[in-house]
C-alpha cells in the first residue's frame, strides 16, 4: 500500500489541526469561529474557519481528513470494546464468542487500515494498540479455556484417585486409570 506523504491539513500547524480534529470528531466549534454556530461544523464551516486562521484548505482535503479521523475513532472504539471485554473475562465466562469477537474486531481494524492512505504515525500507533488489545482478548480467552479444562481434569483426577484408593484399588492401577482416562495432567 502506498501512503500519501502529506495532505494539506498535515502541513497545517498542530493547533489548527487539533481544532479541525475537534470540529470533525467532537462536533465542537472553535471559540474564535466568526460565523453562526448551528449544530455541528460542516466541511464548509471548517474551510471558512481555516481562512480566518490565514490557512487555505479545500473542502475535499477536509473530507479526506475527516474520513481518516472517523476510521481512527472506529478503531479506538473497537480497542475500547476489546479492553472492556478483557476486563470482565474470567475462567468461568470465557466463551468462544469473546475470542471470535476479538478476531472480528481485529479484522475490522485491518480492513479500515487498508481503506485509506492518509494515516499519521500517531494514528498508526493507535491502530496498532487497538489490534494488540484485540489479540490480547483472544489470547486471554484461550488461556482461560485451557486453565479451566486443566482445573477440571485435576479435580476429576483427585476425586478418582480418592474414590479408588478408598475402595482399595492398587496405586499403580489408579495411576494407569487416571493417565488413560483423564489425560496427561497429573493431580
List all residues 6 or more positions away from 137 whose beta carbon is below 8 Å from its beta carbon.
Answer: 82, 85, 86, 89, 98, 99, 101, 102
pLDDT in tens, 37-91: 888 899 999 999 999 999 999 999 999 888 888 777 777 777 777 677 666 666 5
Contacts of 133 (CB under 8 A, 6+ apart): 79, 82, 83, 86
Helices (H), the chain: 14-21, 43-52, 59-87, 96-114, 121-166, 171-182
pLDDT score at 48: 93
What pLDDT shows up at residue 49? 94
pLDDT value at 116 more than 70 = no
The whole-number pLDDT of residue 89 equals: 61
Q: Which residues contact 132 (CB under 8 A, 6 or more apart)?
A: none
Grid coordinates in use for 169? 484399588
CA distances from 10 to 6, 7, 61, 134 (A): 6, 5, 10, 29
C-beta separation of 68 from 4 below 8 A: no
What cell does 144 get?
482461560
Inform me whether the pLDDT recorded for 119 exceeds 80. Answer: no
Amino acid at each position: 500500500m502506498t501512503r500519501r506523504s502529506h495532505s494539506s491539513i498535515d502541513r497545517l500547524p498542530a493547533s489548527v489541526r487539533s481544532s479541525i480534529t475537534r470540529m470533525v470528531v467532537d462536533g465542537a466549534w472553535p471559540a474564535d469561529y466568526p460565523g453562526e454556530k448551528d449544530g455541528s461544523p460542516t466541511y464548509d464551516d471548517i474551510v471558512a474557519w481555516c481562512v480566518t486562521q490565514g490557512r487555505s484548505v479545500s473542502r475535499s482535503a477536509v473530507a479526506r481528513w475527516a474520513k481518516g479521523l472517523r476510521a481512527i475513532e472506529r478503531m479506538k472504539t473497537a480497542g475500547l470494546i476489546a479492553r472492556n471485554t478483557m476486563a470482565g473475562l474470567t475462567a468461568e465466562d470465557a466463551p468462544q464468542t469473546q475470542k471470535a469477537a476479538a478476531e472480528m474486531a481485529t479484522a475490522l481494524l485491518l480492513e479500515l487500515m487498508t481503506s485509506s492512505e492518509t494515516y499519521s504515525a500517531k494514528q498508526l500507533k493507535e491502530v496498532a494498540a487497538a489490534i494488540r488489545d484485540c489479540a490480547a482478548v483472544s489470547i486471554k480467552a484461550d488461556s482461560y479455556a485451557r486453565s479451566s479444562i486443566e482445573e477440571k481434569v485435576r479435580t476429576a483426577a483427585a476425586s478418582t484417585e480418592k474414590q479408588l484408593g478408598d475402595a482399595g484399588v492398587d496405586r499403580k492401577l489408579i495411576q494407569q486409570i487416571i493417565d488413560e482416562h483423564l489425560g496427561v495432567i497429573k493431580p
